[in-house]
Amino acid sequence: AQSVSQHNHHVILSEAASLELGCNYSYGGTVNLFWYVQYPGQHLQLLLKYFSGDPLVKGIKGFEAEFIKSKFSFNLRKPSVQWSDTAEYFCAVNALRSGNTGKLIFGQGTTLQVKP
């Protein structure tokens, strides 16, 4: 069965520090990749997505992610975090196959705490 693994469960950073959250998936075929963010008490919002083309994708709020097919990875980065980035971050994968139903497989989530 496909799975998605996020390496960091809880990350604490100071403002202006750089961020990198790891995400690996286990599916050898074509995938669509997503990062979602969940601010405290709110629903999931899309940060960025990869479908095809340039493996470096840019999302909202200064986030970016790089798809490395050979490593089955889709790591999220931000050069300088802000206190308002405190949230939970989820990596998700849609494994494409015939009869694609759009089901997402989520990682366990990473809680990011940014100290002012």
Partner 1 sequence: NAGVTQTPKFRVLKTGQSMTLLCAQDMNHEYMYWYRQDPGMGLRLIHYSVGEGTTAKGEVPDGYNVSRLKKQNFLLGLESAAPSQTSVYFCASSWVRSGGLTEAFFGQGTRLTVV
Would you count residue 4 as binding partner 1 (CB under 8 A)? yes
Q: Residue 100 CB, nearest distance to partner 1 (Å)?
A: 6
H/E stretch holding 4: strand 4-6
**Cα–Cα distance between 1 and 90 in angstroms, integer?**
19
Q: In the block, which residue shows the tokens 């959250």? A: 21
Would you count residue 115 as binding partner 1 (CB under 8 A)? no
Count the residues in the chain.
116
Would you count residue 98 as binding partner 1 (CB under 8 A)? no
Would you count residue 43 as binding partner 1 (CB under 8 A)? yes
Q: Residue 17 CB, nearest distance to partner 1 (Å)?
A: 24
Closer by beta carbon to partner 1, 10 or else 115:
10
**Cα–Cα distance between 88 and 38 in angstroms, integer?**
5
Q: How far is CA 93 from CA 5, 8, 30, 73, in A?
A: 10, 17, 10, 11
Mask: binding to partner 1, 18-37, rule CB under 8 A, as x and -?
------------x-x-x-x-
64 forms beta bridges with: 58, 77
Instruction: Please give the residue ranges that form the binding site for partner 1 (CB under 8 A).
Output: 4, 6, 9, 30, 32, 34, 36, 42-46, 49, 51-52, 90, 92, 94, 96, 100-109
